[in-house]
Each structure stands twice: as structure tokens, then as C-alpha cells.
Structure 1
Amino acid sequence: MQSGGVADAAVKLFGDPLRAEIVRLLAREQMCTCHLVDDTGARQSTISYHLRVLREAGFVAAEPRGRYTYYRLRPEALSMLTSGIADLTVQAHQAQAVRRPCP
């Protein structure tokens, strides 16, 4: 994952406080929209919007179960993000010794 991709992915995951809360909730268990509405107090349409953002970014998978759809975090996507952040951390440490001269 390139550094721009890492930043974009991190924003998709944690760029909104409600979306970050949804991620924290889904880290504990699979949930349907009604659970997320109850636990967050947000409107169903708002929860659906954030779930769509997370699905499109590849962080959440959906699984239909009867009348309901359950959502879960995709650990492999989180692993790719953490690996990308680790690479950025290494680069940041190395950059401490590098300064571009001004013209």
C-alpha cells in the first residue's frame, strides 16, 4: 500500500467520529444496521452511509441473514493498513536525517 493510499484508507476508516465508533463496535462482533442504530443513537440512513463508505474502502463485509444483513470488519484489510502505517513510520524515522535544501 503506497503512502497516499495508506492516508486515504485511514481517513476512510477513522475520518469521521461515528464511522470510527462503528469500526470499534464491529471489532467486537458482527452487527446488523439495527444494532448499530441502537448502540450509536444515529439514524439508520446515517449508519447505512458510513457502512457503504467502509464497504467500498474494503474494510467491511456484508452477509445477508434472512431479513437482515450483518456487517463485519475484514481483518485482512486492517492488516494491510497497519502494515502501510508501519512502513510510513519507518520512512518518518529515516526522514529525521534528511532535509531538502532551499533554493
Structure 2
Amino acid sequence: MSGERAALFGLLADPLRLRIVELLASEELCTCHLIDETGAKQTTVSHHLRILREAGAVTTTEVGKFTWYRLTPHVLEALAASLTELADGAERAGRQRLPCAP
């Protein structure tokens, strides 16, 4: 589980990837929009989009010569579930304490 969790959190560990996800959370965008919004180079944006696509975090639609990207909710739902699980564990940890060995 921790390997899967690390992979999920790793998707958002990069500031540019996080910004791309934030932008795609509100609408489907093509690469040119993401370049304009982030100010990053086309090759850099494409690199991060490829990482997100390979992880299943985004899907694409080809329209003419443009590629449009949209988020796939299940990846964000998995992240949210993982955070909820960690928060639940922290809540339980606040109520439990293992005895210390002398």
C-alpha cells in the first residue's frame, strides 16, 4: 500500500504537475492552454502531461492537430481516500499510546 501511496503522491510532488492538475480540475484544456497558463516550455508541459497520462491521471482527446486533456476522477479519489486513511490513523494514534520499555 505504501508503494501505491508514494506513487500517487509523487504525481503531485512536482509544482508544475500540481499546477496542471489544478487547471484541469476545472475544465478540459489543450496543450497550448496549459503552456499559456503555466508559462512553461512546450517540451516541459508535454513531459509532465505524459507522466500524468501514463499514471492514468489524465485522458486525452485528439481534435484535429490539438490534444485536449482532462482529469480522471478516480486518481484524485484514490488520493483523497489515502489522505482520509492517514487522517483516521492519526486520530486513533492520538487516543492510543504503546507502553515504553524500561
TM-score between the two structures when normalised by the length of structure 2 = 0.86
Q: Which residue of 1 aligns with 2:49?
A: 51
Identity fraction in percent:
46
Could you say which structure has the larger radius of gyration? 2
* 1:3–1:88 Cα contact (<8 Å) kept: no
Q: Which residue of 1 aligns with 2:36?
A: 38
Moved more, 72-81 or 87-96: 87-96
Partner deviation per Cα, 1:54-74 (whole Å, 9 max, x = no partner): 112211111111111100001
Give, in angstroms, the shift of residue 77 of structure 1: 1.7
- Unmatched 5+ stretches in structure 1: none
Partner deviation per Cα, 1:37-87 (whole Å, 9 max, x = no partner): 111110000000110111122111111111111000011221122112111
Task: Tell me how far apart the structure 1 counterparts of residues 23 and 32 of structure 2 sit (CA, whole Å).
Answer: 13
Superposition CA RMSD, Å? 1.9
For 1:54, the aligned partner's letter is: L
Give, in angstroms, the shift of residue 22 of structure 1: 0.6
Give, in angstroms, the shift of residue 92 of structure 1: 2.0
Task: Tell me how far apart the structure 1 counterparts of residues 93 and 30 of structure 2 sit (CA, whole Å).
Answer: 44
Is it true that 1:66 corresponds to 2:64 in the alignment? yes
- Unmatched 5+ stretches in structure 2: none
**Where has structure 1 moved over 3 Å in runs of 4 or more?**
98-103
TM-score between the two structures when normalised by the length of structure 1 = 0.85
Q: Which has the higher contact order (CA 8 A, sep 6+)?
A: 1
